[in-house]
């Protein structure tokens, strides 16, 4: 009698996936909701108020896609500059939260 040998595929052990580290998200917080501005500052402030409690990246993406105001040169300003201005003047704060 012939013996038949069954070929079993080798099982490769799978290493456990590394644990995902919690990511930190920077969140906008409007501190002064009754501030009065004119012109470009007012337009950027309105967008900031609309993004209160949302990640900074969402605000910057929205402003990059459709700037609230354009200077006479027609070239859009960086949203990070306006974020810095409003933070420096105490209108907003940026909190880091873990997601």
Strand 24-30 with 92-98, pairing = antiparallel
Q: What's the pLDDT tens digit per position in 23-81?
A: 888 999 999 989 899 999 999 999 999 999 999 999 999 999 999 998 999 898 999 99
Q: Give the pLDDT score at 3.
A: 61
Using CA of residue 84, residue 86, residue 87, residue 92, what is the dihedral sign? negative
Q: What's the pLDDT tens digit per position in 8-18?
A: 667 777 777 77
Q: Which helix (H) or strand (E) holds 65?
A: helix 56-65
For residues 71 and 77, the answer to whether their CB atoms sit within 8 Å is yes
The model scores a pTM over 0.85:
no
For residues 45 and 91, the answer to whether their CB atoms sit within 8 Å is yes
For residues 83 and 56, the answer to whether their CB atoms sit within 8 Å is yes
């Amino acid at each position: 009698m012939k013996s038949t040998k069954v070929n079993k595929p080798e099982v490769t052990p799978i290493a456990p996936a590394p644990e995902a580290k919690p990511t930190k998200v920077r969140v906008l917080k409007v501190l002064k909701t009754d501030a009065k501005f004119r012109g470009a500052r007012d337009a950027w402030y309105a967008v900031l108020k609309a993004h209160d409690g949302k990640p900074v990246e969402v605000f910057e993406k929205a402003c990059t896609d459709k700037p609230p105001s354009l200077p006479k040169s027609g070239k859009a300003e960086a949203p990070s500059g306006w974020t810095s201005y409003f933070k420096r003047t105490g209108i907003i704060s940026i909190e880091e939260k873990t997601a």
